[in-house]
Structure 1
């Protein structure tokens, strides 16, 4: 049964079957071989129940909010503001690229949305500013990974779904790592700026800085409103996604007035299409996860890992090495849905904080978005930039170093993740 679940899934994915079908077929096959008639009849119920979780409502709502912000031209205003903040530094537009990704992370929650939304704007600005196309692509790809770490974060919503961990605590846990990623990526840019004498922008006048701030103030308030509302108890993280949509509509329709009814309808249709794809995967993974649990594989993995060591750090290192390999082949959402339930018994047994593990897992899988052969951000950047996929891979590889440094830091120092949620949630109590 376990052999069919694991090898069957791998073979089906390798032959190019859609993820949802691969999960569903391998789960059905394993149940037919090793399960009872009762178990087989329960599978459809598990698929249905998998989609009836209130937390999952946040996914389409955050996707919709990001699309509305994108369509309303907010992304360009964000980049201009970031350029005003740090553009005067050596390699200024590259620094602005990273800072803009941090700001946009407060609205998008997904690396692909960041790369596709801000990507073209950042690439055009950097190319016109005298930066090579390849360097511009590398910075844009690397900085897009901040989106799923700094709140709100779609992968963390998915992790909350499979683990039962508070979404609010996960969101807060991603704040310090997200800022840390921004700082270390900027240090990497500073290294390149010094080495290759990269250009800088003129120091902004007070009038330009003030105007840029006014244009960006409403988008800048998005993460403040969402995190503040969650912390103060005004709304749940799922309800915060609805607030984000309402806020995006108000800004797009009544403030910047660049969001037409046609744009809104298109954003809803695109969101529905993307949500349906995610929904099929969630339903199939719910069935697969139940069969996996019934097979006893989760218990065996927990027992196997704890026989190697009961030291939380050693266990985390082993799991992360495995996730780094998996991230090269599986989409982050799929990896969380499959592997989250698999590793939760392990981390509970050795006493690893689930919020800490959730943020570590998400960051690890975000690195996978930049690794061949299936790193989706690499494909997005190749399409946006017009470069060959091989060139995008080569130019992006050095930027895995700062992301790896952040991953190591949050593995070794759990407080970088847990301090903020412990402090703020403690104050709230």
Structure 2
């Protein structure tokens, strides 16, 4: 059993097999050779894992993000935020942070933010004197805010895996996401002042109003989605469906940038991307069931209890583990694989599952821009036309900022829970 559930998955991962193949192979071999359970349990658990209402929001949010990421949405957001922060040192860098944050609230995708925001902001920052590596590292790393600010697809998957309220997770993600954006903006301002790059433009009320007029339809998406969820009008799944309808209206009839053929193309892309996610969800559901039947989580709980570790020691160990895992594995796969093992220990130690979900998401957000397999780095390499080594170098200072905020949010749970408690969710 140790071979099937431990050594085999590790070996298959080393050889570079897709994560769903790794999980499926390990589960099937465990059932076939080590467990006295009929093989029809395989398809029952595969389909059972994706038969959750909460997961319906995933393809909806992907589709809405695909629609809004095409055309001039990112450019409109850039113009609006730049009109507000025009007089700040490092205004273009601050604009990049603000745009990535708002774009994340529209699409829930970090990679989409890198591509869309990067193509607009990187050339502008080069003209403004920003070091090339620094600006590329900035775009690559700050776009990771997209999976922390709701609507976050990793939070949906974590909520479904851990049986945690998705509205609560969304509410808890607002303050850490905004705090992270604020600290990143502050660092960029200090770096720009010390480095003597990044000019300031005079802000004017007229300029802000004009830019707001151009961006108001783009800004409406997160307002409708998050306002609907927090106001109790929509469930997350219903809000995702409304976001799709809103995105079609805006991109097809208001901005008039997408044809029906373009919308169909977005739908095709959504189907393919959703299939990639859901096949991992299905395989991870089967693997989690096999672990549970063999009482692996219970054994882990007993082992941790026997060590007599404190909450802070456990959270420190989990942070280190997740930072390492995030370097090699997609956030969704890591959440699906690790959540069933960690949640029983979290419950035993009395850690709030919402707070733990935010810690887990932030950890894996860091993995999006760390070598060797950070997806944001590969997207930036393609979108910006730069060498991966130069992008790696540019992400280092932002990695330090993320780590500092990760430590603060991990060991001060009130930061994650404040906005959730303020909204008094009962769901």
User: Is the TM value for this pair above 0.5?
Assistant: yes
* Equivalent-residue separation in structure 2 for 1:302 and 1:397 (angstroms): 36
Cα deviation 1:143-167 (Å, max 9, x = unaligned): 1111111111000001011011010
What SS does the corresponding residue of 2:424 show, helix, strand or coil? helix
Residue 303 of structure 2 corresponds to residue 276 of structure 1: no
Q: CA offset at residue 177 of structure 1?
A: 0.4
Q: Find the aligned partners of 1:167 and 1:250 in 2 and give their Cα distance.
A: 27
Q: CA deviation at 1:104?
A: 0.9
User: 3-state SS of the aligned residue for 1:259?
Assistant: coil
Alpha-carbon distance, 1:91 to partner: 1.2
Shift of 1:207: 2.2
- 2:61 maps to 62
- Measure, in 1, the Cα distance between the counterparts of 2:303 and 2:418: 31
CA distance in 2, matches of 1:210, 1:158: 38
Partner of 1:7: 7
Residue equivalent to 2:116: 117
Distance 1:82 1:66 in 2: 20
Q: Which runs of 5+ in 2 are unaligned?
A: none
Q: Is the 8 A contact 2:69 2:107 kept in 1?
A: no
Which whole-Å CA distance do the structure 2 matches of 1:185 and 1:306 have between them? 38
Matched with 1:25 is: 25
**Alpha-carbon offset, residue 33 of structure 1:** 2.3
The aligned residue for residue 395 of structure 1 is: 394
Determine the C-alpha separation between the residues in 1 that align with 2:215 and 2:127: 23
CA contact (8 A) 2:57 2:237 kept: yes
Per the alignment, residue 197 of structure 1 pairs with 196
Gaps in structure 1 of 5+ consecutive residues? none
Q: Which residue of 2 aligns with 1:211?
A: 210
Count how many residue pairs are aligned between Structure 1 and Structure 2. 427
> Is 1:260 the counterpart of 2:247 in the alignment?
no
CA displacement at 1:310 relative to structure 2: 4.7
Distance 2:140 2:308 in 1: 36
For residue 229 of structure 1, report the CA deviation from its aligned partner.
1.1
CA distance in 2, matches of 1:221, 1:130: 33
**What's the secondary structure of 1:267's corresponding residue?**
helix
Offset, 1:184? 0.9
Please state whether the residue corresponding to 1:112 is helix, strand or coil. Answer: helix
Structure 1 distance, partners of 2:410, 2:105, is 24
What do the CA deviations read for 1:17-36 (whole angstroms, capped 9, x no partner)?
A: 11111110111112222111
How far did 1:330 drift?
0.9
Alignment deviations for residues 118-160 of structure 1 (CA, whole Å, 9 cap, x no partner): 2211212222333232111111011111111111100000101
Q: Paired residue for 2:353?
A: 354
Instruction: Encode CA deviations 1:60-91: one digit per residue, 9 max, x unaligned.
Output: 11111111111232111011111112132111
Moved more, 408-417 or 130-139: 130-139
CA contact (8 A) 1:2 1:30 kept: no
Match of 2:290 in 1: 291
8 Å CA contact 1:46–1:286 kept in 2: the answer is yes
Q: What is the alpha-carbon distance in structure 1 between the residues aligned to residue 308 and residue 113 of structure 2?
A: 39
8 A Cα contact 2:155 2:166, kept in partner: yes
| Separation in structure 2 between the aligned mates of residue 186 and residue 15 of structure 1, nearest angstrom | 40
The aligned counterpart of 2:303 is 304
Rounded Cα–Cα distance in structure 2 between residues aligned with 1:10 and 1:80: 47
Indicate the residue corresponding to 1:224 in structure 2. 223
User: Is the contact made by 1:2 and 1:297 (CA closer than 8 Å) also made in structure 2?
Assistant: no
Is the 8 Å Cα contact of residues 125 and 198 (structure 2) preserved in structure 1?
A: no
Q: How far apart, CA to CA, are the structure 2 residues paired with 1:324 and 1:335?
A: 11
Matches within 5 A, 1:92-111: 92-111=91-110
